[in-house]
Amino acid sequence: MADGKNKVLTILGIESSCDDTSAAIIRDGVILSNVVAGQKVHEEYGGVVPELASRAHQQNIVPVVDLAIKKAGISKNEISAVAFTRGPGLLGSLLVGTSFAKGFSLAFGIPLIDVNHLQGHVLALFIKESGVDFNPPNFPFLCLMVSGGNSQIILVRDYLKMEVIGQTLDDAAGEAFDKCAKVMGLPYPGGPHVDRLAKNGDPQKFKFSKPKVPGLDYSFSGLKTNFLYFLRDNLKENENFVEENKEDLCASLQFTIVEILLIKLRLAAKQTGIREITVAGGVSANSGLRKALKENAKKMDWNLIIPKFEYTMDNAAMIAITGYYKYLNNEFAGQNVVPFARTQL
């Protein structure tokens, strides 16, 4: 393989792990384009339907990649390598991105780079934008990874050296938001709706259970069950309970989830002695979490780095930047590579 340290590196990134089809172009670490196509079809079902997701990816992948290349103002022949999400995610969705990346790699005779979706979320912190101040975290740092499918505390020693030191034992924080929102009758995805309603509610109005899990691990299944039973019991006495208390319910739920996350993050920072703190994943867009992180950073003297909103959600820019660093490290995949629904860092 070519030595990436002596030439301009242009990486095409492809992300198809769930219900967003995305393609991005990064040149020497600087983002040139980042295109995301969502899938509205899942909203009426209250969650992602895997078979519908994979079909939509098949429809979207070619036009999305074409648009990303055009927006970047480059030709296909300038691309040095293609990076794709190998996992974790929905297998049918991952197969679409993997197959396209393999075909593109073969057609243009360029290297293929497989990327762990979670690693991509962490390295989104290192995406450079032309004309914008670049303020990445210093190694080593702790990253609170919070998304619909994952909740982890990751110790990051270098671009490609990461260790999970704490993680959920069952459900992820994002899933807790979405499932609790669903039982309140809020649309999918529920997290942003909870965030919006919580801004006008009292976070201390209702008390929900916080799990007592040893070490740095999390659990959210108990909170989900507690919330469900709490609504069931109160609806028996007042059928309008949810409607009358929706803002306070959302504020109290959000406060509890954020507190569960931060208790463990504070413990991790104390145990490791690391004060360089970052956050990644879709739930990091939550305003309650961001506010609490900033308050804790001030109190604990943390250097807190929060990514731009567009890089917190599933996107191909984070896959391309990870591909860039893997290229520099000569880490490539063969045509026999297959996606994985469940992987660890």
pLDDT band for position 52 (cuts 50, 70, 90): confident
pLDDT band for position 44 (cuts 50, 70, 90): low
pLDDT of 269 above 60: yes
pLDDT of 4 above 60: no
State residue 86's pLDDT score: 97
Top-confidence residue, 309 or 74: 74
* Over residues 23-37, mean pLDDT: 97
H-assigned helices in 24-172? 50-72, 91-108, 117-123
Taking a C-beta distance cutoff of 8 angstroms, is the pair 261, 151 a contact?
Answer: yes
pLDDT band for position 45 (cuts 50, 70, 90): low
* C-alpha to C-alpha distance for 255 and 273, rounded to whole angstroms: 26
* Over residues 217-241, mean pLDDT: 96
* C-alpha to C-alpha distance for 322 and 328, rounded to whole angstroms: 10
Half-sphere exposure (CA, 13 Å, Cβ side) for 175?
A: 16
Identify the structural domains of the chain with CATH numbers, from first to last: 4-134+313-328 (3.30.420.40), 141-311 (3.30.420.40)
pLDDT of 100 above 70: yes
Read off the tokens for 181.
Answer: 């929102």
pLDDT of 251 above 90: yes
* Over residues 268-275, mean pLDDT: 98
Top-confidence residue, 61 or 18: 61
Those residues whose C-beta lies under 8 Å from the C-beta of residue 92, and which sit 6 or more positions away, are 50, 51, 53, 54
Q: Phi and psi at residue 340, in whole multiples of 5°? A: -125, 135
* Over residues 297-311, mean pLDDT: 94
Q: pLDDT (tens digit, 9 = 90+) per residue, 108-143?
A: 999 999 999 999 999 999 999 999 999 999 999 999
* Over residues 167-182, mean pLDDT: 93
pLDDT of 301 above 70: yes
In sequence order, what DSSP letters do the residues of 198-237 get, joined into one string? HTTS-TTSS-------STT-B--HHHHHHHHHHHHHHHHH
State residue 41's pLDDT score: 57
pTM of the model: 0.92
Q: What's the start-to-end Cα distance of the chain, in Å?
A: 25
Q: Phi and psi at residue 85, in whole multiples of 5°? A: -75, 120
Q: The dihedral of CA 21, 27, 29, 33: what is its sign?
A: negative
pLDDT of 345 above 80: no
Distance of CA 50 to CAs 5, 19, 93, 94, 259, Å? 40, 8, 7, 11, 32
Taking a C-beta distance cutoff of 8 angstroms, is the pair 51, 36 a contact?
Answer: no
